[in-house]
Amino acid sequence: MLDLMLRNLSLRYRLPLQASLLVLTTALLLTGAILLREYQQGRQDLFETAESTARLLAATLVQPLLHDDLWRAHALINAPFDPEDPWPLAVESVLILDADQRVYVSTEPRRYRLGTPVGELDPPFAYLRSGGGIRDDEGFRILTPRGADHFLFELPVHFDGMILGSLALAYPRALLIPRFLSIVTRAGLVLLVMLLLLLPLTWWWGRRVVQPLVHLSHCMSQMRERLPPDEACDLPNSGDEIGDLGREFRRLLTQLRQKQALEESMLASERLATVGRITAGIAHEINNPLGGMLNAISTHRRHGDVDPLTARTLSLLDRGLNQIRDTVGALLVEARVTSHALEPQDLEDVRTLVSPDAQQRKVEIEWDNRIEGRLDLPSSQVRQILMNLLLNAVQASDPGATVRCSLRREGDGLQMSVVNRGDPIPREQMERLFEPFVSGSPSGSGLGLWVTYQLVSQMDGRIEVESGDDRTTRFDVFLPPARAAA
């Protein structure tokens, strides 16, 4: 609901609001990153303190462990505790295990009794029996069990290559809370002051930036009925991005006018070309039986016994059939299109014409046109082939997908490749793919690929298609030069 409201909100309010939200989000993220770093630094300080304490105690415990001096060991591990001056990062509990992993002495003798195996200890030292944690080369191990209330540290006590036992320290996680809350309070005050300064400035800046865009939107709304003249859109002509946008919009108006004229010209040209191709197919089907009937009439006249009535009937049929032949021939002449040699701009025109369909389907066209100079190919037919393939690819692609079109020279000919991602062509449809009225879309006529195939065949080219389970469909077309085709 909120997202819908933001989309329907005017840009003059939405941009300042979004900029303010961006400032707020950035400030919160920056503050969160600082707090996280401070927390990690505090934890690292705790770990370093624990390691220093453990190494110091381990060094002093060697002699008591060698001489089995229990009371001396007990006095040493209680040294870090000072009830009159508690240290904020003080250790909560210390435990010494002998070489058999049994309790030797602890700061809480009633809780951790002498001789208790490590596997029977209560938390927090119960986690010592696990083999996890981080251990350095000297055996110092850090245990941070998930969900536990303490950090555990363990260090073996060595003497002359022999392990006498191990020292374990438990630090409560709550030790980090006072320091962290102090940092949170200071960071919150800094964040509040920063937002009070930045949010009004951001709102003013957003309104100032969006004002030319609002004017541009007004100009674009005039394009719904007709393309406005340049004078009607007094857009900024400065040297910044807004000025670039104004110049690009005026350039867009010029290109749209050229595109409009080009579309009208191409539609007329392609309409005539399509009529010619359809008529050629009809003429082929008509001329075969038509020739047979005319031959039959001629044969009957020469060799049959023709009475006057039959002669008049045959003459009437002969004139009618010849009239049909002449009419079909006249249609073929009318539908012929004179086409110039293919140039790179002809291919770019196809991209221009297909782009609106791609935008409507939210499909991106990845265009790779490596053609330079002219090719001895009829431009109208090549444009029709490429347009049919691209439109089919756009219609068959998933929303948000990419259609890749590659155009390059191969010798003196043209190699075209169109690839899209979408539902694969079914096997039963693949067998009749280039037949007329075969379409995988309910809205398709089934003539596009048939016309494409006919054009490629007439130009002595070849067309290949691959469509597999990876949802990728590829059409490859090679067209030889007109001289080679002739």
pLDDT confidence of residue 408: 92
Decide if 10-178 and 341-485 have a common fold: no
- Between 376 and 338, residue with greater pLDDT: 376
Q: What share of the chain is helix, strand, coil (3-state, %, to 5)?
A: 55, 15, 25
Least confident of 195-204, 249-258, 328-337, 400-409: 328-337
Instruction: Tell me the average pLDDT across 176-189.
Output: 81
pLDDT confidence of residue 420: 92
Give the burial class of 346: count Cβ atoms within 10 A of its Cβ; 0-12 exposed, 13-18 middle, 19 or more buried. buried
Instruction: Tell me the average pLDDT across 310-335.
Output: 59
pLDDT confidence of residue 280: 65
Instruction: Give percent of the chain with pLDDT exceeding 90.
Output: 7
Q: Residue 73 and residue 430: Cα distance in Å, rounded?
A: 86
pLDDT confidence of residue 439: 66
pLDDT confidence of residue 22: 78
Instruction: Tell me the average pLDDT across 78-82.
Output: 65
Does residue 98 have a pLDDT over 70? Answer: yes
Does residue 306 have a pLDDT over 70? Answer: no
Does residue 4 have a pLDDT over 60? Answer: no
Task: Please choose, from the candidates 269, 270, 267, the residue with its C-alpha nearest in 3D space to the C-alpha of residue 259.
Answer: 267
Global pTM reads 0.40
Instruction: Tell me the average pLDDT across 416-439.
Output: 79
pLDDT band at 33 (very low <50, low <70, confident <90, very high): confident
pLDDT confidence of residue 331: 41
Domain 10-178, CATH: 3.30.450.20
Which residues have C-beta within 8 Å of that of residue 28, sequence separation ≥ 6? 191
pLDDT confidence of residue 330: 40
Instruction: Tell me the average pLDDT across 78-101.
Output: 69
Q: Scanning the structure block, which residue is given the tokens 């469509």?
A: 467
Does residue 335 have a pLDDT over 70? Answer: no
pLDDT confidence of residue 323: 53
Instruction: Tell me the average pLDDT across 420-434.
Output: 81
Instruction: Tell me the average pLDDT across 156-166.
Output: 87
pLDDT confidence of residue 390: 92
Q: What is the mean pLDDT of the chain?
A: 78
Q: Residue 173 and residue 162: Cα distance in Å, rounded?
A: 33
pLDDT band at 426 (very low <50, low <70, confident <90, very high): confident
Does residue 220 have a pLDDT over 60? Answer: yes
In tens, the pLDDT along 117-160 reads: 988 888 888 888 777 778 887 788 888 888 788 888 889 988 88
Does residue 185 have a pLDDT over 90? Answer: no
Q: Choose the most confident range, by mean pLDDT, from 82-96, 214-228, 267-281, 395-409.
A: 395-409
Instruction: Give percent of the chain with pLDDT exceeding 70.
Output: 80
Which pair of structure tokens corresponds to residue 146? 């998930």
pLDDT band at 366 (very low <50, low <70, confident <90, very high): very high
In tens, the pLDDT along 244-297 reads: 777 888 788 888 878 776 775 455 345 434 544 665 667 667 776 777 777 777
C-beta separation of 157 from 167 below 8 A: yes
pLDDT confidence of residue 416: 94
Beta bridge partners, 473, equal 420, 467
| DSSP per-residue codes, 50-68 | HHHHHHHHHHHTHHHHHTT
Instruction: Tell me the average pLDDT across 165-191.
Output: 83
- Between 443 and 91, residue with greater pLDDT: 91
- Please state the φ and ψ torsions of residue 11, each to the nearest 5 degrees: -65, -30
- Between 59 and 440, residue with greater pLDDT: 59
Least confident of 27-36, 49-58, 103-112, 443-452: 443-452
- Between 305 and 475, residue with greater pLDDT: 475
> 341-485, which class in CATH?
alpha beta
For the chain, the structural domain boundaries read 10-178, 261-335, 341-485
Q: How are strands ordered across the β-sheet holding 141-143?
A: 103-106, 93-98, 162-172, 150-159, 141-143, 134-135
pLDDT band at 232 (very low <50, low <70, confident <90, very high): low
pLDDT confidence of residue 278: 67
CA distances to 53, 81, 115, 122, 340 from 90, rounded to whole Å, are 10, 7, 26, 21, 90
Does residue 60 have a pLDDT over 80? Answer: yes
pLDDT confidence of residue 271: 47
pLDDT band at 41 (very low <50, low <70, confident <90, very high): confident
Least confident of 161-175, 221-235, 383-397: 221-235
Does residue 86 have a pLDDT over 70? Answer: no
